[in-house]
Chain A
């Protein structure tokens, strides 16, 4: 890895609404993307709800910011790890999640999925590999 480049992982463990953590976390990811670090994002526990399709905040005072996750690819944030057990425990599958993609510049701008479903054990390994972990 290049000098000065660290592995950053943003860990999301909370539901998207009710608290401001998810939205703030997403904004930090977008701002941090300007610094050319090696960035990945983890969705664990209730954090997996952040990627749920069909979010409707009409009855709350919060803006539905789920469309913004689709901009992550434009910001070169292309590694989104979702914990499989967390999905299962909440009765969710991959089909319940937003279809998030990026264009791979090194592969003729082919559109690829940013979402990787990983097991709890794999997630633990990923966490182990990071230089910096930011929890939201």
Chain B
């Protein structure tokens, strides 16, 4: 495919969901994360390392910003704390926010990939094809959430990443990535595929709760829900509906209510129109103390 050909026929390669001619059916994987329940303990992140063969890069590379944590806990403090003229103490604590690939419906990373290594699947995931990736890193530059991680080194052969016995812990269901390849959260696609395959062979759809992502399964406060948004009976679909967050909108109707909405659901950087598949529920703090 020449570049000219690609440019001329762009529309047919550039295909983003949701579109009416190709609705999600029967699956659209989505998540919701309750920030009031999230305690910031990091269990999700360690579980992700365990499930997805994520390399531990060590102190030096971490300092260079080369950590590979597909899911990280972002920390936010009120801006006026501990600065001259501001408040002395963070009396309402910190704010924690688990951040991972938002599996955008119109993902900014997809449009810039020169080789089509990242694209949208029919069940609503933003997929990464490792053996097609040439390492241009355009996708990472274009991701507003900064959740794409690049293999600057060949970790399988780097000292002390997976020394002798440690290699035996590697999950055979997940590729070990090599140098020059971009990677990111997959919503534990290996678990999804296994569940969908089982369901298909039994002539049914995946039940709600049948498949859990590694982060969700570990989460000690059950802050993470995950499931099929197409199924109106799934917990995640009910949560989205109750919070009046619609996948296909870049401005939610409820936010236009005078005085603001009394519902907690929101999506991060929705205004940029990536149509993320992760809904967050705002943290709540008591007003009486």
**A associates with B:** no
List the interface of chain B (C-beta within 8 A of A). Answer: none
